[in-house]
Amino acid sequence: MTDVILEKVGKTYPNGYHAIPSVDLSIEEGEFIVLVGPSGCGKSTLLRMVAGLESISTGELRIRGERMNEKEPAERDIAMVFQNYALYPHMSVYDNMAYGLKNRGMPKDQIAEKVSDVAKMLGLTELLQRKPRQLSGGQRQRVAMGRAMVRDPKVFLFDEPLSNLDAKLRVQMRVEIRQLQRKLGTTTLYVTHDQVEAMTLADRLVVLNKGKAEQVGTPMDLYNKPATPFVAAFIGSPSMNLINANLTEQGIKISEALTLPLSHQHRGGIVWGIRPEHLEVSDEQNADFALRILAVESLGAETLIHGKIETELGNGEPMVVRLSGPHLPEVNSLMWLTAPVSHWHLFDTKTQQRL
């Protein structure tokens, strides 16, 4: 069943700034959707429009078939977790979680029951009488989630909830959020700028760029078949090598001295892309091109090699290669590489669409 539908939803600010031109999205019940994009792409604005904290300028938002545009946030049956948690500093953990229910006029004993259930699930039982300032960052995060969960809403909204935590805790909470969401089966909309978070959490990802949904799909879809160079560059770390080239009869002409053979009916300017992890080291005879090594980053499990493509005419396009395991090539030496055709990504320069 479709749970949340955004139909041509757009946002124009009173000063005329067109934050979001038009976004279409339909979310299935129980789905975990991640809105991801660089800062300023409108992802938080979109989330806040769903929440009712920003008005919707054009289009329609429907939750379970009901038009929500004009409803107050509290009437939309949604719950939101904020970036800085936004816990009420003067209330105990219990009161923080109970406040929303109290405002709905739920009887006291039912509130107590619900809060203690959620607290148990989140491991907060011991902390119920504490004030937020007596809690650690991770605990506050959990209380913020608890406050959303007790309401038993139709939709959870998360606005970069992990960005205030340290790296280790972030990984831990990420796993926890995913497990909880699976267990509760609540439809979730999650905003982040961290593509690792996005990839690991999402059932489906929405990559936003300048207020437009560049691509919607499962993480693997986006990784394997990015629709635009923007998505290609955004998903994956380190990001895909993208080089402006020309598609001719001989193949892909990357520079005057380098053409990779390919038969394709398209002609003209393209963006040629290959992921760092798909480049392979080979010997001189079989190589597609050589790389002049400029820097080596050894991470133990993998090695990132930064270099520039070297031809007779000097070196040109920068490129990153990712090799598994430790490697210690010398800086400034040459490295021979093959780029398997099956891993190529071609985009039309003009339309920015995948070929």
Partner 1 sequence: MIENRPWLTFASHATLLTGIALVALPVWMALVASTHPASAFGAGHIPLWFGDAGAETWGTVLFEKAGNGVDTPVWFMMLNSLIMALGITFGKIAISLLSAYAIVFFRFPFRNLCFWIIFMTLMLPVEVRIVPTYEVVANLDLLNSYTGLTLPLIASATATFLFRQCFLSIPGELVEAARMDGAGPWRFFFDILLPLSRTNIAALFVILFIYGWNQYLWPLLITTDDAYYTLVMSIKRMLSVTDGDIAWNQIMATTLLAMLPPVAVVIGMQKLFVKGLVDSEK
The letter for the amino acid at 39 is: S
**Candidate residues 74, 112, 175, 220; the one interacting with partner 1 per rule CB under 8 A:** 74
In 3-state terms, what secondary structure has residue 103? helix
Q: Which helix (H) or strand (E) holds 10?
A: strand 2-12
Minimum gap (Å) between residue 85 Cβ and partner 1: 8
Minimum gap (Å) between residue 156 Cβ and partner 1: 11
Which of 140/322 has CB closer to partner 1? Answer: 140
What are 78's strand-pairing partners? 155
Which of 83/311 has CB closer to partner 1? Answer: 83
Q: Report the C-alpha gap between 238 and 319 in whole angstroms.
A: 11
Minimum gap (Å) between residue 138 Cβ and partner 1: 18
Residues 17 and 177: beta-carbon distance below 8 Å: no
What are 33's strand-pairing partners? 189, 204
Minimum gap (Å) between residue 73 Cβ and partner 1: 5
Which residue, among 19, 21, 20, 25, has the nearest Cα to 6 in the 3D structure? 25
47 binds partner 1 per the rule CB under 8 A: no
Find the farthest-apart pair of alpha carbons in the chain and give their distance in angstroms, rounded: 80
Residues 270 and 355: beta-carbon distance below 8 Å: yes
The letter for the amino acid at 214 is: E
53 binds partner 1 per the rule CB under 8 A: yes
Which of 87/245 has CB closer to partner 1? Answer: 87
Cα three-residue angle 46-352-219, rounded to 5 degrees: 55
155 binds partner 1 per the rule CB under 8 A: no
**Candidate residues 30, 58, 62, 86; the one interacting with partner 1 per rule CB under 8 A:** 86
CA atoms within 13 A on the CB side of 91: 15
Pairing state between β 302-311 and 289-298: antiparallel
Query: What single-letter DSSP state applies at residue 50?
Result: H
78 binds partner 1 per the rule CB under 8 A: yes
**Candidate residues 84, 136, 237, 248; the one interacting with partner 1 per rule CB under 8 A:** 84
Q: x/- site string to partner 1, residues 89 to 128, per CB under 8 A? A: xxx-------xx--xx------------------------
Minimum gap (Å) between residue 183 Cβ and partner 1: 22
Which of 150/305 has CB closer to partner 1? Answer: 150
296 binds partner 1 per the rule CB under 8 A: no
Binding site for partner 1 (CB under 8 A): 51, 53, 72-74, 78-80, 82-84, 86-91, 99-100, 103-104, 133, 147
